[in-house]
């Protein structure tokens, strides 16, 4: 199996399914007769740095998608001369998600975080963490309801604070559980 063809098929599968195939699915995808062939291909791709395994042993992308070139900077204020020069490259896998095995996406609904630059329809990358610090934007459950807010403490008590003046802070009546911290926001235009 040609490695470039294999990577191309894995990219297509990942885009369609938002995950990598199981070894059985790899058999069908590549026309292999045994899981051993799929396992062998996966090992080659792990050695090449294209794939890796998470803490559960599942295959996850490492550098499945090629990095994009960074061609310079551009002013968002007063226009200025710009020169195109290659400054490096960025892999969005690495840029947006530091710990894929501890991360997941949520689609944002509602406008309570717009002043933090998080709009309805955006996706947020949530990283599961053991510790939360004040000022983190968190995915939390407050009295049985889920929400995305700033984590704050007032008078030693935890509360959730929106980033929109239309809304007041939320104080738990019974419980507040944090499920993760926002590490990236993704917005696609068009």
Interval 141-186: pLDDT, tens: 999 999 999 999 988 889 999 999 999 999 999 999 999 999 999 8
- Residue 132 burial (10 A CB sphere; 0-12, 13-18, 19+): middle
Instruction: Pick the most confident of 11-20, 62-71, 95-104.
Output: 11-20
The residues carrying an active-site annotation are: 112, 149
* Domains of the chain, first to last: 3-61 (1.10.10.10), 100-186 (2.10.109.10)
Mean pLDDT of 82-96: 68
pTM to 2 decimals?
A: 0.65
Dist. CA 143–CA 2, nearest whole Å: 53
Contact 129, 180 (CB under 8 A): yes
The per-residue pLDDT for 61 is: 84
- Residue 110 burial (10 A CB sphere; 0-12, 13-18, 19+): middle
Tell me the pLDDT tens digit for each residue of 12-39: 898 888 888 999 999 999 999 988 999 9
The per-residue pLDDT for 52 is: 87
């Amino acid at each position: 199996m040609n490695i470039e063809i294999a990577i191309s098929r894995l990219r297509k599968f990942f885009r369609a399914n938002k995950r990598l195939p199981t070894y059985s699915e790899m058999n069908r995808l590549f026309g292999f007769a045994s899981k051993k062939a799929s396992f062998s291909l996966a090992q080659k791709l792990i050695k090449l740095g294209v794939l890796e395994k998470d803490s559960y042993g599942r295959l996850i992308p490492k550098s499945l998608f090629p990095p994009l070139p960074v061609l310079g900077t551009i002013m968002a204020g007063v226009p200025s001369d710009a020169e195109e020069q290659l400054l490096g490259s960025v892999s969005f896998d690495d840029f947006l998600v530091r710990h894929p095995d501890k991360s997941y996406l949520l689609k944002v609904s509602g406008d309570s975080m717009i002043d933090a630059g998080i709009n309805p329809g955006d996706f947020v990358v949530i990283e599961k963490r053991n510790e939360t610090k004040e000022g983190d934007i968190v995915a939390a459950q407050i009295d049985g309801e889920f929400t995305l807010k700033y984590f704050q403490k007032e008078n030693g008590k935890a509360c959730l604070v929106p980033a929109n003046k239309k809304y007041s802070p939320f104080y738990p009546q019974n419980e507040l559980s944090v499920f993760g911290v926002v590490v990236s926001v993704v917005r696609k235009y068009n």
